[in-house]
Amino acid sequence: MSSPDSPIFSRLQRPPAYKIVADALQKAVLEKTLKPGDAFPIEGDLAAQFGVNRSTVREGIRHLEQSGLVVRQGKKLVVSLPSYDQVGDQVSRALIVHDVTFQELWEVKMALEPLAAELAAAAITDDQINRMEANIEATRRALKNGDDLVALDIEFHALIAEASGNRALVMARGAIARLFYPTYKVGMAAKAAGRRLVDAHANIFEAIKAREAQTAAEWMRKHIIDFKRGYEIAGHNVSEPVAYEE
């Protein structure tokens, strides 16, 4: 038998009131009770409905704002869709905290980037073809002038993801891709690496433009393998956790 000095049950741990409010509001958004574009209920009404003070409601709403589910338009709060960048930032931070390694990220990149190229070959529009072609021409000029290729490389892969037409892929790939940004410069330190990058981008683009999905995916696989090889040649350990950089 238990005694007063040795209770069977521990004290219940209740979340803060603002967290309960935030969870309830988030549930209403996720269940589409409140839809993107809808005006958010005012603080006074929410405080009365939840039976809490307005400062508690205000703190709960602040959490939704940070997640991108609510935005301010003047004095009004409106339900919104989180941007791809907001989603990516949240996932990227979680990956950093979990000490995810370059190798782990690269394995996912090897799955997502060829898939993006394959889907893009079936779904790309004329406007997207023109933008991708402009990117490649700009990359060729940058290589000739000795300019940095990193931003153009990032743009090229983002354009392919966009052309895939798959929003889930765009968000998943974006969260992974941003953690590779600091490593792109490492892999392109040598002039030969820049030439290989331009050639790979051109081959991927031509396959996508010709609607040759499997060829586009295969060139992308070769390109991602080459990316890892350049990182290793530069003397970096793929088994180490990726570093956080602004």
CA distance linking residue 148 with residue 85, whole number of Å: 23
Which tens digits make up the pLDDT trace of 23-63? 999 999 989 999 999 998 889 999 999 999 999 999 999 98
What pLDDT does 206 receive?
98
Q: Does this chain's domain 17-79 share its CATH topology with 85-233?
A: no
Helix (H, G, I), strand (E, B) or coil at 76: strand
CATH of domain 85-233: 1.20.120.530
Structural tokens at position 226: 């080459």
What pLDDT does 246 receive?
62
What pLDDT does 24 receive?
92
What pLDDT does 231 receive?
86
Q: What average pLDDT does the structure give for the chain? A: 89
Q: What are phi and psi of 6, to 5 degrees?
A: -135, 75
What pLDDT does 12 receive?
66
Q: How far is C-alpha 99 from the chain's CA centre?
A: 17
What pLDDT does 15 receive?
83
Which CATH code of 3.40.50.300, 3.40.50.800, 1.10.10.10, 1.10.10.60 fits the domain covering 17-79? 1.10.10.10
What pLDDT does 161 receive?
97
For residue 160, the surrounding DSSP H or E stretch is: helix 150-164
- Give the sign of the dihedral formed by CA 222, CA 178, CA 158, CA 164: positive
Structural tokens at position 85: 């960048």
The domain limits of the chain are 17-79, 85-233
Q: Please identify every stretch of the chain with a pLDDT value under 70, giving residue numbers as ranges.
A: 1-5, 12, 184-191, 244-246
CB 85 within 8 Å of CB 79: no
CA distance linking residue 217 with residue 111, whole number of Å: 10
Structural tokens at position 21: 């409010």
What pLDDT does 158 receive?
95
CA atoms within 13 A on the CB side of 145: 9
CA atoms within 13 A on the CB side of 155: 15
